[in-house]
Amino acid sequence: MITRIVKMQFAPEHVPTFLAMFDEVKEKIRAVDGCEHLTLYQDIHHPGTIFTYSYWQREEDLEAYRHSELFRTTWARTKQWFDGKPVAWSVNALHTLN
């Protein structure tokens, strides 16, 4: 299982627009083969800082999504609202405590 974390920084005036767009595509992203989970987080002190956390069965599934038309069109819309360079990590969990 791969966890993909993406940190995005938006200008405050673009946050509502991004959130509305994300609401339009979240089910489509979640339905991509290999996507097991998708969560959107917002920093409580810096509302323009937003993270996506997604869980993927295999790295190949994530890469297939990253090369898909859905990703290309979503990312093209999203990046126009950035107020900083996005940062992404693909990580494996070492320990989980519930």
User: What is the average pLDDT score of the chain?
Assistant: 96
Give residue 16's pLDDT band: very low, low, confident or very high (50, 70, 90). very high
User: Percent of the chain having pLDDT more than 70?
Assistant: 100
User: What's 70's domain CATH number?
Assistant: 3.30.70.100
| For residues 31-43, average pLDDT | 98
The total domain count for the chain is: 1
Strand, helix or coil for residue 1: coil
Residue 42 forms part of a structural domain: yes
pLDDT of amino acid 86 = 97
User: Percent of the chain having pLDDT more than 90?
Assistant: 96
pLDDT of amino acid 96 = 86
Dihedral over Cα of 12, 13, 18, 23: its sign: positive
CA distance 98 to 82: 34
Residue 23 domain boundaries: 2-91
Residue 20 forms part of a structural domain: yes
| For residues 70-83, average pLDDT | 96
Residue 96 forms part of a structural domain: no
Residue 98 forms part of a structural domain: no
Residues in contact with 30: Cβ distance below 8 Å, sequence separation at least 6, in sequence order: 37, 38
| Length of the chain measured in residues | 98
Closest to 27 in 3D by CA, of 14, 17, 40: 40
CA distance 84 to 10: 7
